[in-house]
Amino acid sequence: MEGGISSSLGLRPADAFAARLAQAEDARLAVVLGAFVADLHALIDTYAITRSELHGVLLFATEVGHACSDQRQEWALLADVLGLTSGVENQMSRRPVAATPNTLPGPFYRADAPRRRDGESISLDQKGQPLTFRASVVDLDARPVPHAQIEVWQANADGIYENQAPDQQPEFNLRGIFRANALGRATIRTVRPAGYAVPGDGPVGQLMARLAISLIRPAHIHVRITAAGFQPLTTHVFDRSDPALDQDPLFAVHPQLLADFTPAEPGTRGGANAPVPHWCAEHRFTLAPTAPDAAPDTADAQAD
Ligand SMILES: [Fe+2]
């Protein structure tokens, strides 16, 4: 005991803390926390962090905590906009290069969405510009994956999910579970989604505003696909024409996840008397096989 304490006397706080971690029973916690604290000490040295700057960090952390409630998780939002959530997701769900990238599910997923027939519309209020979305599911050799389950959920034309506005949209509006046919294909009738902003009225939003970082998510459809023998895929399909593609605050945009939203019939996009545009989009999803020794997929646990 005496030797352990005396041996750290005279060390810099960074080194003394690292020495104390040697006694920890949780080796992974000690290693990861040690690396984190070492990086923080390096920041102090490199940038000559002041007392008032440290106080500002502690004040910000306090505000983030106070902004949390049963309906809001400001810490999770902070992890999202710093790229930590997507970083962990990417690390935990590495797929072969040819497979469709997995992404975070976002906060608006519901596990109890209704099942829909092929070709059925998930727009229960018929508000918005109609969109026919054709999905196909294949394996790494481009062979169809028959009867895959394809679950979709999306915001409406105003960028709002039904569970954000239960008084303004029918329950389960713009979400549903489809079953692909024997060729791995499904047709989903919906409306064209709009992008939306993640919550900006709390301390995280204020920090992002100070940094001139956008909170606007580009328009997208969330998709979750499951099929026997394959790793579950939770991903997005983004509107390739959205100008916010390279600014997604959740870092979920991958080049493989872009889709063209094209007019169903030429000429329906313009003119003062033009009918409501009808759009088409299609996307092919490539599943990776389940690894023989794969750990359980954790995407479900994050679909909060
Ligand atoms: Fe979303």
Whose structure tokens read 């606007």?
A: 216
Distance 242 CA to ligand 1 centre (A): 14
In the reported structure, the alpha carbon of residue 278 is separated from the centroid of ligand 1 by a whole-number distance in angstroms of 22
- Cα gap 66→72, rounded to integer Å: 10
Distance 13 CA to ligand 1 centre (A): 44
Distance 44 CA to ligand 1 centre (A): 37
Question: Cα(154) to centroid of ligand 1, in Å?
Answer: 6
Contact partners, residue 223, CB within 8 Å, separation at least 6: 135, 150, 151, 152, 233, 234, 235, 236, 237, 283, 285
Q: To 10 degrees, the CA torsion angle through 95, 133, 268, 247?
A: -40
Which of the four pLDDT bands, split at 50, 70 and 90, describes residue 36?
very high
Ligand 1 centroid–CA 175 distance in Å is 12
For residue 148, report the distance from its CA to the centre of ligand 1, in Å: 22
Structure tokens at 181: 């046919």
User: Which distant-in-sequence residues (6+ apart) come within 8 Å of 3 by Cβ?
Assistant: none
Contacts of 136 (CB under 8 A, 6+ apart): 144, 180, 183, 184, 185, 186, 282, 283, 284, 285
Tell me, what's the pLDDT at 70? 85
State residue 293's pLDDT score.
58
In this model, does residue 6 exceed pLDDT 70? no
Ligand 1 centre from 108 Cα, in Å?
Answer: 7
Q: How far is the CA of 256 from the centre of ligand 1 (A)?
A: 17
Q: What is the mean pLDDT of residues 277-289?
A: 95
Least confident segment among 8-22, 104-118, 263-277: 263-277
More confident residue, 209 or 71: 209
Using the mean position of ligand 1's atoms as its centre, give its distance from the Cα of residue 221 in Å.
7
Dist. CA 157 → ligand 1 center (Å): 12
Span from the CA of 162 to the centroid of ligand 1 (angstroms): 11
Q: For residue 273, how far is its CA from the centre of ligand 1 (angstroms)?
A: 32
Kindly give the distance from the C-alpha atom of residue 238 to the centroid of ligand 1, in angstroms, as a whole number. Answer: 10
pLDDT higher than 50, residue 130: yes
Contact 49, 189 (CB under 8 A): no
Tell me the pLDDT tens digit for each residue of 146-159: 999 999 999 999 99
18 C-alpha to ligand 1 centroid (Å): 41
Q: What angle do CA 230, 233, 234 make, to 5 degrees?
A: 165
What is the 3-state secondary structure of the chain? CHHHHHCCCCCCHHHHHHHHHHHCCCHHHHHHHHHHHHHHHHHHHHHCCCHHHHHHHHHHHHHHHHHCCCCCCHHHHHHHHCCHHHHHHHHHCCCCCCCCCCCCCCCCCCCCCCECCCCCECCCCCCCCEEEEEEEEECCCCCECCCCEEEEEECCCCCCCCCCCCCCCCCCCCEEEEECCCCCEEEEEEECCCCEECCCCCHHHHHHHHCCCCCEECCEEEEEEECCCECCEEEEEEECCCCCHHHCCCCCCCHHHEECCEECCCCCCCCCCCCCCCEEEEEEEECCECCCCCCCCCHHHHCC
Predicted TM-score of the model (pTM): 0.86
Say how many Å lie between the CA of residue 106 and the centre of ligand 1: 6
Domain ranges of the chain: 2-49, 78-302
Quote the tokens at residue 139.
Answer: 């394996």
Among residues of the chain, what percentage have pLDDT more than 90? 84
Distance 205 CA to ligand 1 centre (A): 17
- pLDDT higher than threshold 60 for residue 95: yes
Q: How far is the CA of 172 from the centre of ligand 1 (A)?
A: 15
Q: How far is the CA of 292 from the centre of ligand 1 (A)?
A: 32
Both tokens of residue 245?
């593609």
Residue 240 has pLDDT above 60, yes or no: yes
pLDDT at residue number 96: 93
**277 Cα to the center of ligand 1, angstroms:** 23
Residue-wise pLDDT for 66-92, tens only, equals 999 988 899 999 999 999 999 999 999
CATH class, range 78-302: mainly beta
Q: 161: CA distance to ligand 1 center in Å?
A: 8
Q: How high is the pLDDT of residue 276?
A: 72
Look up residue 44 and give its two tokens.
Answer: 């102090």
Predicted pLDDT of residue 303: 38
Mean residue pLDDT of the chain comes to 91
Distance 109 CA to ligand 1 centre (A): 9
CB 208 within 8 A of CB 202: no
pLDDT of 152 reads 98
Mean pLDDT confidence for 254-281? 78
> Is the pLDDT score of 266 beyond 90?
no
247: Cβ–Cβ under 8 A, 6 or more apart, which residues?
Answer: 213, 214, 216, 218
